[in-house]
Amino acid sequence: MLDVTRKGMDPDIYDAFIEQLDRFVRERLIPAEDRVEELGRVPDDILAEMRDMGLFGVTMPEEYGGAGMNVSQYIGFVQALAYAAPAFRSILSINVGMVNSAISNFGTEEQKREWLPKLAGGMVAAFGLTEPDSGSDSAAMKTRAVKSGNGYVLNGTKRYITNAPFADMILVMARTNAEALPKNAHVSAFLVPRNTTGVTIGKPDGKMGQAGAQIADVILEDVHVGGEALLGGEEGIGFRAAMTSLNNGRLSVAGASVGYAKRILDTGLKYATERKAFGEPIANFQLIQAMLADSKAEIYAADCMVKDACARADRGENVIVEAAAAKMFASEMCGRVADRVVQIHGGAGYLKEYLAERFYRDVRIYRIYEGTTQILQLVIAKNMLREVGANA
């Protein structure tokens, strides 16, 4: 949740912004998708336009150079942006979602003044939580931050880190205590500039889909940071910052799943009305209509879930269950829509010549990152059981 931005932008200004963004998505981003695929990154001219439009600062508080969107507005922004290829959302989502959330909610005033204006201006951030042997299990985290003078020395490796090859700053989760303490109090967070001595970025990983959204390892070897790098100036709050940020990240993935599913369905609908079989458009066939209708209904359901979870967050409610449920359902929904649209295309859906093939590969990761479907099932169930126990 973004506690500092719940009032949000003026509704009329926000609506005008989203209208402008929709035009930008259709006129600039979608036509650039093939270039993204070829280059393996967002082209520099497109990235410059995204910065000029203020897209990197939509959630930052206005006093730090941002637009001050609340959660509902932010996820509406994500949905609009996610109608285009995932790389465009990926390059800025860590800034406006997870890292902004961590700094805004847990950072010191000095850290906010130092980092939020830079992030709003287009500095690219990465979020260093996952490790080779530690993803959802923070107790297995091996990256260490050892006290040294008035600062710390960090050692460890982070894996599958989105934006690592482009990042100017990395929010690194590291253990400041060798023991696994209650409530994950062994985990602290550090704001680490990418050019700090000892920080190395690995070779970008080859992926199934989402071309242009690069991930890589972040290797930390005797990385010395000052005490001002410790988020909030306090040890042991890293896990809380990460989980609060993950609520936001999960809503973002849910919103992206809805936005991309709309694009996928529009593509399938267009193909079904143009492709003919037995002398008529295949859209006239009832089994094709069933796949289109099921997709429309599921997108609507996911959209409603996301809107409800965001509204609750804006009211200040704890949305850990709602964010998990919305992300779980929306990401699974998006996979089903992509699968149906490949099926509607028939043999053509298996060819790279058609968008359906790219969509199918792109959406698979939505069911994995920011919490796999299985982890989210555990999050939801454990919170249900905890509530039952509290009320017993």
Annotation: CATH topology of 127-236: Butyryl-CoA Dehydrogenase, subunit A; domain 2 (2.40.110)
| Of 67, 169, 58, the residue nearest 124 (C-alpha) | 169
The matching CATH number, chosen from 2.60.40.10, 1.10.540.10, 1.20.59.10, 3.40.50.2300, for 3-123 is 1.10.540.10
Which pLDDT score is estimated for 137?
A: 67
Q: Return the structure tokens found at 122.
A: 């287009």
- The DSSP-derived string for 43-106 is -HHHHHHHHHTTGGGSSS-GGGTS----HHHHHHHHHHHTTS-HHHHHHHHIIIIIIHHHHHHH
Residue ranges per structural domain of the chain: 3-123, 127-236, 240-391
Which residues in the chain show pLDDT less than 50? Answer: 1-5
Which pLDDT score is estimated for 257?
A: 98
Which one from 110, 114, 370, 387 is the annotated catalytic residue?
Answer: 370
* Common-topology check for domains 127-236 and 240-391: no
Cα separation, 225 vs 220, whole angstroms: 11
* Bridge partners, residue 276, by sequence: 281
Residue written as token pair 């993803």: 135
Which pLDDT score is estimated for 181?
A: 73
**CATH architecture for residues 240-391:** Up-down Bundle (1.20)
The answer to whether residue 370 is catalytic is: yes
Which pLDDT score is estimated for 364?
A: 97
| Of 323, 298, 301, 335, the residue nearest 376 (C-alpha) | 323
